[in-house]
Chain A
Amino acid sequence: MPDGVAIRAQDLQKQFRAVSAVRGVSFEVRAGEIFSLLGPNGAGKSTTIAMLSCLLQPTQGDASVCGHSIRQSPQRVKACLGVVPQDIALYLDLSARENLEFWGKMYGLRGATLRQRVAEVLAIIGLTERQKDKVGTFSGGMQRRVNIGAALLHRPDVIIMDEPTVGIDPQSRRHILDNVKELNRQGMTVLYTTHYMEEAQELSHQIAIMDQGKIIVCGTHAELIRLVGERTRLDLTLHSEDDALVACWRSIAGVHSLSADHGRLTLLVDDSNLVLPRLFETAAQVGVRITSVTIEEPNLEAVFLHLTGKALRDAL
């Protein structure tokens, strides 16, 4: 890959009539990295990867994958890419093996090479025993694994995975995350989109946080955490929301940001040991009962809250 960059997006924009889905996205994914696009639904993640996969033509800007422009050489881009779509995109009336054989042929594999790769991929996704069963009879998690397997057959240099763990059981999720790490260990570059902070945190060498069609920050996990310093996140639930109390809490020394949503409050604070007593004290003064408190060390959720003023979970 030229200059070690697997994906380079430059000012990518996509306009759907009056809606700007992606508004000038630029980033670089180095070869061998796992790069996560983290953000709530509607942030523009799927539209960005649809452009990188040559499924959508950018309204403006360009990107290169494996050194090939998505505008000028879409077939070359497609040949070096493996794309795992967000929804299951398989033939449910065909078996797992038949699906993999079909998709392998679509990537140009034939004969013994195809048979060998199908067998290897079935082993990778852990479905060798069920290879002859129709995909329609599989659980959601198993279907997800075949969905991923279909993108691995041609040993792509870069794999793009669009929220591959949505709506599946914890066991299948664990299997998929382990697979992603293993593929990366074998040298595959991974562009991973998710709205699960923990996944981005666990997998990624680099993380770009997207919101409203833009990348609001990009860097390693450590770099992003540093943006919020050593601040701790507090999640509180109130028996009844009180605007005066919220205003009062914003003014307490050590509270850096606060978002409120129907009695659920998220605060970024310097030192929870100092701030929490003040919160309980003022709540008692106005007669509002605090029904639950959760304390979390600095994480990507805090970064999102810090940069957008809203909690990631609220934006979903």
Chain B
Amino acid sequence: MKTLTIAAKDLKHIFQSGFSLVMMFGAPLLITGLLAFAFGGRTSGTDTFNLPVTRVQVVNLDQPAGADPGFAAGKLLVAVLQDPSLSDLLAVTLAADEASARTAVDEQRAGVAIIIPPDFTAAATSPDRGAAVVIYRDPTLTIGPGIVTDLVRHVIDGFSGAKIAGQVTAEGLSAAGAEADQALKDNIIRAYTAWLQSDEHGAEGAAVPRLAVVAPTGAAQPKSQGAAPIGPIMAGMLVFFVFFMGGNGAESIIREAEQGTLARLSSTPTPLAAMLGGKFIGVMVSLGLQVAVLLLASILLFGIQWGQAATVMLVSLGLIVASAGFGVMLMSLITSSRQTGPVLGGVMTLTGMLGGLFTTTIPNIPAGFDRVALLTPQGWALQGWKLALSGAGVGETLVPVVVMLVMGSAFLAVGVALFRRRFA
């Protein structure tokens, strides 16, 4: 009963402290939101992730002439760029001349200007002619101009493919002793470009190799595209601040020793084990509330799907025990509350960095870094949360959870032994 009284008193102290509330709830949610915003993650409750639309000005100077007056390569390129399926990426308008298109880019009224040369069709259909499509881009933009460049290159590659096909046919006929006349070459190129203009190259059942892009179906399909990048960020912040509060909560032992209340407690018929037990329970409960509130808030604010309920509960338990034990041990090593700030901040930041809590958004981390992360309890906690986020079941998260429980218990045993020696 005394143990619970001490725990309740500590909880009251924690939840009356503005600093504690900020570090428990405010800081992790705020930092996650800022990081998600900085790295292009979701910043609102909407369910989609949108790139900004790139404004494109096209100057089509192409003057088709030749064997097939109905074919215009420049017109085809413009049609590809104005395809309705690209309307959420590109806003394409036709400019009167090259100068006005370039001026639009210079004045940032457009992100990209495409200048199609007058002999574009001739270059697309004649084996011995060439022409350059000029892409004039705003140097401050990266993604939009990149998309435009890829699209233009895709169309030009199609024309190049047709020309190569004609050339190869001519060489084949020549090797067989026959002569390929210009009409045959024109036919090949015409057939190729006609195919390029049609939808057949992407249609199901077409007699050509086809690229099929499909998404998984069923319950396992993630609800939100945005949840994928922000989940690990939030997991890193959750682990960091829960560990921080584990140390901060355990600091009350040092603070009470300095304020004389611990000695006063010792003068009452309250065993030391009950005092330390009350302290530990207070820390555990506060961390449990912190984890629960952060999980709930991150679901509501960021739409994060943390995974299966049983897995989340198990990983939460491991995190709470590991952070409380680590905090008690850390505080048992310091002698004054003046050391708390530097030691707590320093050790938690260092072990957090080693544990990978601040690099969750960096792809392709070297394997060595992952191995170092598992030397820290934070590294195991993060691994547990990453597994939970990926939808892993209880069985798959048992290893990190057991490691966290063992580490937390060992840290706690060391901390309690040191405190007992100091205060006995």
Q: A residues touching B (Cβ–Cβ < 8 Å)? A: 53-55, 75-76, 78-79, 81, 83, 85, 87-91, 93-94, 102-103, 105-108, 110, 150
Contact = CB atoms under 8 A, between A and B. Distances in A.
Interface string B23-38: 0000000000000000
Closest 7 CB pairs of A and B: A89-B260, A89-B264, A106-B268, A83-B267, A78-B269, A79-B269, A105-B5
B263 A102 contact: no
A102 B9 contact: yes
Interface string B1-14: 11001000100110
B5 A75 contact: no
B267 A105 contact: no
B270 interface: yes
B267 A55 contact: yes
B266 interface: yes
A108 B260 CA distance: 20
B interface: dominant SS: helix
B308 interface: no
Contact of A85 (B2, B260, B269, B270): B260
Contacts of A53: 267
9 contacts: A54-B267, A55-B263, A78-B267, A83-B267, A85-B260, A91-B13, A94-B9, A106-B268, A107-B269
Contact of A106 (B16, B260, B265): B265
Nearest to B423: A55
Contacts of B270: 106
A89 B261 contact: yes
B9 A91 contact: yes
A103 B266 CA distance: 11
A81, A103, A105 — which one has the most chain B CB atoms within 10 A of its CB? A105
Contacts of A76: 269
Contacts of A83: 264, 267
B261 A94 contact: no
A150 B264 CA distance: 10
A108 B264 CA distance: 15
B353 to A, nearest CB: 33
B142 interface: no
Interface string B333-356: 000000000000000000000000
B217 interface: no
Contacts of B264: 83, 85, 89, 103, 150
Contacts of B261: 89-91
Contacts of A75: 269, 271
A1 to B, nearest CB: 18
A55 B269 CA distance: 11
Contacts of B12: 94
Contacts of A89: 259-261, 263-264
Contacts of A81: 267
A81 B1 CA distance: 21
Contacts of A110: 1
